[in-house]
Amino acid sequence: MPDWRRLARRKLTPLALDSAREDEIVAELAGHLEDLYADLVRRGTPEGEAVRSTLCAAADWNELRHEIQLAANEEDIMNYCAKTLWLPGMCTSALAGVLLRLFQIPSAPAPHVFWVWQGMSLVLYWRWLLCLPLVGALAAYWSRRAGGKFLDRLLAACLYPLGLTCALALTFIIGFVLRLDSRVPLSIKFVALGAYIVGWGIAPFIPLLLGALPFLRGDAGESRPVAASH
């Protein structure tokens, strides 16, 4: 019986992947080829013809190699984003939310109200804001340890206010399009949106950014994992 692993490696290389990933792909493909060959032999196909039929089943090896590289690169990109952006960003955003809830309990110190107009107010939990530099530093450090670049670290650190601002803006747009609360003047709606963006977007963004600043500088030895595959 042919050495399907050696044959698959000769047909597929170079894959331009790391050796462990390449070995895994070659072993998986060799297993499929071996199963197909064994099935043909069980059906009474002569060995030589079974080998040729098995190799023909793989179709164009160049196209197969290209598809494997594309799939591997897409997986690398998804893993990279998950490790350097979404995981540190979501976890530290949850931490920021938990801290905010702690400062919103009845026994916590009252927030600072800057002004009140038409029933609206700009409320800032300044003790919560003082905690956010630590949250931003943790997110940026986590992202840097995972190999994140400058933008990945910045987004991971500031994901909480960015996500909240986008959600507020989207809610405003949907309400405007659907004409919800049509009795409220548009000027008041814009003022309310601005107050929310300042209080829940800009205000937390600044301390998070300040905390992340020491960890935004890239190390010379860091490189994006996906780049190694090209």
DSSP state letters, 193-211 = HHHHHIIIIIHHHHHHHHH
Give the per-residue pLDDT at 211: 96
Residue whose entry in the numeric block shows the structure tokens 């597929």: 12
Closest CA to 66 of 15, 134, 116: 15
Alpha-carbon distance values, 186 to 86, 107, 157 (Å): 36, 37, 33
Closest CA to 1 of 47, 52, 58: 47
Token duo for residue 100: 């905010």
Token duo for residue 195: 């107050």
Alpha-carbon distance values, 162 to 1, 145, 200, 213 (Å): 59, 22, 9, 17
Packing angle of the helix pair 126-145, 150-157 (nearest 10 deg)? 150
Token duo for residue 143: 């992202």
Closest CA to 180 of 169, 170, 188, 172: 172
What count of other Cβ atoms lies within 10 Å of the Cβ of residue 143?
29
Residue whose entry in the numeric block shows the structure tokens 């399907």: 4
Give the per-residue pLDDT at 9: 74
Give the per-residue pLDDT at 140: 95
Query: How far apart (Å, rounded) are the C-alpha atoms in residues 136 and 205?
Result: 9
Token duo for residue 9: 């490696």
Give the per-residue pLDDT at 221: 38
Residues of the chain below pLDDT 50: 220-230
Give the per-residue pLDDT at 36: 80
Give the per-residue pLDDT at 135: 96
Give the per-residue pLDDT at 228: 40
Alpha helices in 59-202 (DSSP H): 61-81, 87-104, 126-145, 150-157, 159-177, 186-197
Give the per-residue pLDDT at 117: 56
Dmax (CA) of the chain: 88
Give the per-residue pLDDT at 4: 73
What count of other Cβ atoms lies within 10 Å of the Cβ of residue 171?
13
Query: How far apart (Å, rounded) are the C-alpha atoms in residues 125 and 207?
Result: 13
Torsion sign across C-alpha atoms 217, 222, 226, 230: positive
